[in-house]
Amino acid sequence: MPNAAHPAAIDGYQLSPESVAAIAHGKLTAQVPADVLDKVRDARARFEQVAATNVPIYGVSTGFGELVHNWVDIEHGRALQENLLRSHCAGVGPLFSRDEVRAMMVARANALSRGYSAVRPVVIEQLLKYLAAGITPAVPQVGSLGASGDLAPLSHVAITLIGEGKVLTADGGTAPTADVLQAHGIAPITLAYKEGLALINGTSAMTGVSCLLLETLRAQVRQAEAIAALALEGLSASADAFMANGHDIAKPHPGQISSAANLRALLAGSTRLAGHDTLSAEMKQRAGDEKNTGTGVFIQKAYTLRCIPQVLGAVRDTLDHCATVVARELNSSNDNPLFFDDDALFHGGNFHGQQVAFAMDFLAIAATQLGVMAERRLNRLLSPHLNNRLPAFLAAANEGLSCGFAGAQYPATALVAENRTICSPASIQSVPSNGDNQDVVSMGLISARNARRILDNNQYILALELLAACQAAELAGAVEHLSPAGRAMFAFVRGHVPFLDADRYMTDEIERVAALLRDGALVEVVRQVGVELA
């Protein structure tokens, strides 16, 4: 794993979603400061003094959930914690990706580092030891209700700390944890009372995954703006809808202002775009002396060409709101019970993930609308009724005999419908469980998984719009008239996918461009010609 000069501090208070993503990707290392470990150690020592008085404490001297009425002697503390983990390692379905699980581990370590969970430092250190060594638990995606926390996925993480369960292998498979620990020379830890519960009774799975989704959408909205700008040039649209005063003064939503500024930068230097003055003069010239007549000149363009800052700006504002919620949850104590500096025990419900669930549903809605805008511009590029006299479906020759992009439009249309289905909010789908102890749950991890699916789908929609925009520019003979950013994007795409001069097998090309977008390549392409996107 790559190392950073300055590791991210896991202190429970200042960790950012961006840092979680960087650690998850192996671009940044994680470290718990010594003073934080001292605070955690002190909290544990004080907690043990309270527990020794034989006062009933949930999950320490009681059973779990609806079994809370059962008294459990503290001498069985280890067995109680291990049984909890084993019984809750019941997740099913495909496994989370390596980066997603690493993000969960970072989020859990950060929550425990606040000290209020009353675990020993060795628990946090073991999580960081795994991160540093590249040991990643195998975690099934299905099983969390989002309250009491992400019990199933976090159990699959936690059980590896004691040498049980499975971890991911380099080839994408799994192996017994004990074998991998032995190969790395790492000893499993032995859990003490409270620690198994503290590891799983929180929101760190949904929060960790959410950190990665924030990063993905932030890159995706920039790419959506860049591709939209190229589509505008392919259609010979107008840039006047993006003038600064119309956004900075008239409707100053921060995201809208940023989006409009990005479009101005992306379109600067283009000779393909007609301004309002030019269109007005052409309308008057065509009308002549007639008082009421059609001119065929549209001084305003359709919404998908004119309202990009209003829609994608709203996506940006939604993203910022969701990032605030996730950052707050990331730096919280989200398990139960908690133990405070005045030795007070708090038996509450901080494990409930409703805030993150709402945020990820909101993110899913915003991402869905981003895809809708891209698909509607794709339709405009392909339709002979809307594409400014370009060939139907951008077929290079022999319309009718050749279909051009007609077949390639279908997956984009299907994905928009799929996204709209997926973005139905999971956060209102509470189903009681655990003997009705967990009678209102958040389903926050389902919200995050839904948002992830939508973002994945959008990469294909954007890839198709990008390919069509390049085809349109070439068919219009406009490549030399594009903005510097437009020419750079066009050259980049043509370096990977040639002009569609005749009907051919397109799946591999669409996959190739979607993969490039997934890696954030387009933002780097425009950066190289001096366009820094907000």
Which residues are annotated as catalytic? 58
Reduce the DSSP state of residue 94 to 3 states and report it.
strand
The type of residue at 401 is L
* Burial zone of 186 (CB within 10 Å; 0-12 exposed, 13-18 middle, 19+ buried): middle
Q: DSSP letter string over 153-211? A: HHHHHHHHHTT-SEEE-TTS-EEEHHHHHHHHT-PPP-PPTTHHHHHHSSSHHHHHHHH
Two structure tokens written together for 531: 């366009």
The type of residue at 93 is G
Triad 479, 480, 486: Cα angle to 5°: 60
- Distance, CA of 56 to CA of 350 (rounded, Å): 19
On whether the CB atoms of residues 385 and 379 are closer than 8 A, the answer is: no
CA torsion sign for 431, 211, 363, 489 is negative
- Distance, CA of 488 to CA of 526 (rounded, Å): 7
Plot region of 137 (φ>0 → left; ψ -120 to 50 → alpha; else → beta):
beta
Measured in whole angstroms, the distance separating CA 88 from the mean position of its chain's CA atoms is 26
Q: Euclidean distance between the first and final Cα of the chain, in Å?
A: 29
The reply, when asked if residue 306 is annotated as ligand binding, is: yes
78 contact partners, CB below 8 Å, separation of at least 6 = 190, 191, 192, 193
Binding site for substrate, by residue number, is 88, 201, 306
Binding site, by residue number, is 88, 201, 306
